[in-house]
Amino acid sequence: MASLFHWPDMSDRQTPSPTAPPTPAASPRLQALREQIDAIDRQLLALLNERARIAEAVGEVKRAEGSPFFRPDRVAQVIANIEAANPGPLRNQHVAAIWREIMSACLALEAPLRVAVLGPEGTFCEQAAIDYFGSAADLIYCPSFDEVFHATAAGTAQFGVVGVENSTEGVVARSLDLFLRSPVHIVGEISLLVRHNLLRQTPSLDGIEVVMAHPQALAQCQGWLSTHLPHAERRAVASNAEGARLATTNPAWAAIASERAAAQYALHIVAHAIQDEAYNRTRFAVICLPQTMATPPASGRDCTSLVVSVPNRPGAVHDLLRPLKAHGVSMTRFESRPAKSGQWEYYFYIDLAGHPSQPHVAAALQELQGLCAFYKMLGAYPVSE
């Protein structure tokens, strides 16, 4: 039976859209300037694509000759030349960032780089890799530094990036232990200013029961946490970004992580820069197999990293310093780690200023090696600024 009433189809009803305020018309002078920028942008795009075509040709030559596709010394040289030629008003640091991205995009056309980093997305390790290789690199996210070493040694990734030292909490002990047995070596480093933020689903400190982060981050923020969240559990997780990911699953959980992680996981930044030391930096090492990249040539500002052990006799550690003093080589880091042999033996991790190709450094290393029961060069590489 036909209905006595006609119900209007709600889908046919038109909801009036709010009236947007009219966009003010640009003045003739502003419009002319915008047109100049648009024209320059088109010229830049044409030149960038011309550069990319030449980069592809370079890639073909490298492939035929068996040359390495990625050469950080060449990247540094190009950026240094560009900075020297920069007339302004762009700042050199911004010019360097632009050119690093240009070179990264062009390299991706030659042969995309696979780089292992600590995951998930949003870690400081990820940021360090992007700062070094550019955003065109193909990042492989690993659950731990152990897996970063494994992926790099196995060839799953051509390069890896691992944290090695923090200006507040000292060395990343696990990374040092992994260097001892891994076949990889260090070919570069990145020093990253680390600002920790408290992230949460809601923009409030109220009701936080658990704060999650990498153990290093928890240690770097212990003063702030003791003052502002004294009763919250501090829970160590594999990475700060993993803590941020977990914070999305429980409103009573918070994480210590980067602004990048906050954006990645749509979390509120409840408190900015909560690290106890304002100038908080972390050194990351770039690692690879020697057959992927040999030791970079001397740059003039280099670091040589070693791990050694000495016979267990009085004065053995003191004797390690003699060759360095005799040849004028400065030691910039000295760390000990237990050999885990049960005999109270230690490995010593040493950073020296200089490059093995320099005669005074080579002479010191030769004498030093003769004093050691165990000697391994971990790498020689340009110092990060």
238 near 144, Cβ under 8 Å?
A: yes
Strands 170-171 and 281-288, bridge-based pairing: unpaired
CA distance 64 to 200: 52
Q: Check residue 73 and give its pLDDT.
A: 82
Beta-bridge mates of residue 142: 118
Predicted TM-score (pTM) of the model is: 0.80
CA distance 141 to 373: 37
Q: Which of 2, 96, 7, 108 is nearest to 51 (CA)?
A: 108
CA distance 29 to 35: 10
Q: Check residue 26 and give its pLDDT.
A: 79
Q: Check residue 344 and give its pLDDT.
A: 58
The C-alpha R_g of the chain, in whole angstroms, comes to: 27
Helix (H) or strand (E) run with residue 34 in it: helix 28-65
Which residue has tokens 């040694």? 153
CA distance 59 to 168: 42
287 near 160, Cβ under 8 Å?
A: yes
Q: If you count them, how many residues does the chain have?
A: 385
Residue segments in the chain with a per-residue pLDDT below the cut of 70: 1-23, 341-344
- Each residue's pLDDT tens digit, 127-176: 999 999 999 999 999 999 999 999 999 999 999 999 999 888 888 989 99
- Domains of the chain plus CATH, in order, are 38-109 (1.20.59.10), 112-194 (3.40.190.10), 197-274 (3.40.190.10), 295-382 (3.30.70.260)
Task: Kindly list the distances between the CA atom of residue 301 and the CA atoms of 350, 361, 380, 381, in Å, as whole numbers in the listed order.
Answer: 17, 13, 11, 9
Strands 281-288 and 233-236, bridge-based pairing: unpaired
Q: Check residue 215 and give its pLDDT.
A: 93
Q: Which of 85, 77, 159 is nearest to 115 (CA)?
A: 159
Beta-bridge mates of residue 284: 163, 190
